[in-house]
Amino acid sequence: MKTVRKAVLPVAGLGTRVLPAAKTTPKNLLNVFDRPILAHVVAEARAAGIEHFVFVTGRGQTAIEDYFDQQFELETQLEAKGKSEILADIRAELGQPGAMSFVRQMAPRGLGHAVWCARDIVGDEPFAVILPDMLMRAQPPALAQAIAAFEAVGGNIVVVESAPPGEAHKYGIVALGETTRGFDGRLAHMTGMVEKPPPGTEPSNLFISGRYVLQPEIFELLANQGAGAGGEIQLTDAMVRLMATQRFHALTFDGTTYDCGDKIGLLEANVAFALAHPELGAEARAAVERLLRR
């Protein structure tokens, strides 16, 4: 079985729910405690063994490329000032030469279209898709859980979790069949999927939450995928077609997800990551408690 080495990160979205913060800063570079959302997500993917990152970007997002590039002046100054700890932190986040690719989506035609834009760079191997604004905290990290499931059962893996009551229609929703042995009963054969089902028609309350392992055959289907929900080319619709010939499993995520494409989700992520910070967590807790007592 081929290993999962590449991850596609669709980042071209306008971030309308987090405006005006996302007006001049790409939404995935907005801050979560001490670094941008994307830095947290890239760390999660590296911990899962991802070697090559394919960012599908839009106009005005060159700051993403710069974030993962060496900043010679900054590094030299930190070195001269003896700030070795932060320097090491900054260097650890950098992309490896040639192991980050940036492709332009050119038009906002939907998640399926964004993933399709990565086809030439991914080539003929299974790959991960990460929706970076869904920031996940878990041990092992979310993508590592998905890749472990892939290594156990092959095919395609979609990470899912329970939608809050009344919210399922905002997401891609899955229908499940038999549960696979192991994985604490969290891995199940998938029998269906639907993108943004009208309220009341959802096959379950389990929504697609933003980590996938997919086979490269998805690209051929995305190439001629018609517009679906919201008039966009939906990844979910192409996955439904791939289900005709390949196996899909849903892995119910064991951890917490923060929707950073939303103001309250972003706030929650900031507090959660601050509280969990190994050095600053205790101080962060004291600050939050102070605030709540006021």
* Binding footprint of ligand G1P on the chain (CB under 6 A): 111, 131, 134, 171-172, 195, 207-210, 234-236
Nearer to ligand G1P, 215 or 236 (CB): 236
Q: Least distance to ligand G1P from the beta carbon of 181, Å?
A: 27
With CB atoms as reference, the residue minimizing the distance to ligand G1P is: 172
**Pairing mode, if any, of strands 156-162 and 206-214?**
antiparallel
Q: Least distance to ligand G1P from the beta carbon of 52, Å?
A: 23
Nearer to ligand G1P, 208 or 266 (CB): 208
Nearer to ligand G1P, 49 or 58 (CB): 58
Strand, helix or coil at 47? helix
Nearer to ligand G1P, 174 or 284 (CB): 174
Dihedral, CA of residue 58, residue 60, residue 63 and residue 66, to nearest 10: 80
Kind and range of the H or E run holding 259: strand 256-259
Residue 47 CA neighbour count, 13 Å, CB half: 16
Q: Least distance to ligand G1P from the beta carbon of 157, Å?
A: 14
Q: Least distance to ligand G1P from the beta carbon of 82, Å?
A: 43
For the record, the structure tokens of 120 come out as 């030439």
Q: Least distance to ligand G1P from the beta carbon of 104, Å?
A: 18
- Residue given tokens 């570079």 in the structure block: 29
Spatial separation of the C-alpha atoms in residues 182 and 187, rounded to whole Å:
8
Query: Checking phi first, is residue 106 left (phi over 0); if not, alpha (psi -120 to 50) or beta?
Result: left
Nearer to ligand G1P, 68 or 258 (CB): 258
